[in-house]
Amino acid sequence: MHHSIRHVLRLVPLVLVLLGPPHAVSNAKAQLLSQFFARNEGASPAVLEYRRKLKEYQEARAAFDEEAGAYWSQITEKRKGRNAKRRNGQQVTLDDYVLTHPPLYTGPKKPVNPEPEETPDRPVRKPIPVMSDLLRAAQELYQFTPQRPSTEVEFKRAYARYALASGLTREQAVRVYSFETGGTGTFDVQAGIEHGGRRAISTAMGYNQLLTTNSVELLAEQGHEFIRALSEKVSKTSGPARQSLEHKLAVLKKMVAHAKSVPDTWSEHEKIGNTAQGWAMHAMVLDIDIGPMLQTHKLLTSVLFARAKGYNRPLSAAELEMMNLTGDGTGLDMVTMPQAMREQVPTSNFFQRGGYERNPVAIRHNTVAKLLAVTDERMDVNSGKAGARELAGAF
């Protein structure tokens, strides 16, 4: 007799205990056997093998998820502890980090079902806005078209002037640009539509790859500075050029007011960023006057954040990139770490589980020291490319 049938029959004494009278037992036995044969009737050897492998996979995956869940809970608790220490002015030590690496799943792969399966309808993804969408939104909502540069070097020079005047160094600007764009990016380069790519993978745009949410947030938080700088330029201009700048200034003031109309949180700015109004604001990345300010403040806010937290040593480009990528608070956690600790602390301490498991760079270069080193290495290579050399020359 097949071992699975014997397993079914072994369940019968249990049914006897639960159900009592003999006729109930007889009915239960028949029902169990009926269910077994119904489930496997006509099943090919391939299907039976699939079901066996699926059970093995599910058991292995469940065991892994239990282990991984405990690890990532510990990561969360350690992060809360570090934040509390910093709020209280206490020194963060090696004991405040998880020093082991996350468990890796090494069990069987999920088998492929040889039988056709019904696939649930996936929600239709909203298309990612591209430059034409941003320009259309700006025109429809604000009756405004960003003034794009006549040449790429014109934008680079405007960026260099504003960045230097604001406190960024040439090394920081050029090396972050090299990392973010591969050393060849243009002022309007968008993630995915580069190096032969034809489909946008995010709204990240420009030298420092601002998302729509970044643009909204910068207009809300730094809009007063943008208005001041543009007002100063208006005062020094005359004729038709002045009229154009005055219109741009009026539009900028409206955008800043809209960005400030919601609480100053990432989630609220993200809501605007996902609307046509946010797209119109993001179009300012393309403007020869506002774009360099947005690109500069994407990095400068991290420099000022570190300074406000008492970190006065100049940030290396790789350290600045960590803050640019992971957020100021998380990035500063890595930046303020002594080198000896950087060699020991796993990168997993600075991620959520999902983000870490989708990040092969953080997994391969799995300590803070290794992650900073590979960032520097990529900056070194890309700084020699044409776009990076042109930007360096603009400084």
CA distance 291 to 163: 11
- Confidence (pLDDT) at 38: 47
Whether residue 64 is found in the same domain as residue 141: no
Whether residue 167 is found in the same domain as residue 70: no
8: domain range?
Answer: 3-40
pTM assigned to the model: 0.80
Whether residue 231 is found in the same domain as residue 309: yes
CA distance 162 to 389: 18
**Nearest to residue 331, comparing CAs of 358, 368, 366?**
368
In angstroms, what CA-CA distances link 365 with 144, 342, 343, 356, 375? 45, 12, 11, 12, 10
CA distance 199 to 191: 8
Whether residue 36 is found in the same domain as residue 178: no
82 within a domain of the structure (yes/no): yes
Whether residue 12 is found in the same domain as residue 83: no
The string of DSSP letters for 143-197 reads S------SSHHHHHHHHHHHHHHHT--HHHHHHHHHHHHTT---TT-BTTBSTT-
**End-to-end Cα distance, the chain:** 83
Taking residue 201's Cβ as centre, other Cβ atoms within 10 Å add up to 12
Per-residue three-class SS string for 74-128: HHHHHHHHHHHHHHCCCCCCHHHCCCCCCCCCCCCCCCCCCCCCCCCCCCCCCCC
- Confidence (pLDDT) at 117: 74
Token pair 């006057």 in the structure block, residue: 289
Whether residue 67 is found in the same domain as residue 180: no
Are residues 288 and 154 in contact, defined by beta-carbon separation less than 8 angstroms? yes
- Confidence (pLDDT) at 355: 87
15 within a domain of the structure (yes/no): yes
- Confidence (pLDDT) at 125: 79
54 within a domain of the structure (yes/no): no
271 within a domain of the structure (yes/no): yes
105 within a domain of the structure (yes/no): no
Are residues 325 and 286 in contact, defined by beta-carbon separation less than 8 angstroms? no
**Nearest to residue 215, comparing CAs of 144, 287, 139?**
287
120 within a domain of the structure (yes/no): no
Tell me the average confidence (pLDDT) per consecutive run of 10 residues in the chain, 395 residues long: 43 41 49 49 80 94 95 96 90 95 93 81 83 96 96 97 95 96 94 82 94 97 96 94 95 97 96 97 98 96 91 91 87 91 95 89 92 94 95 96
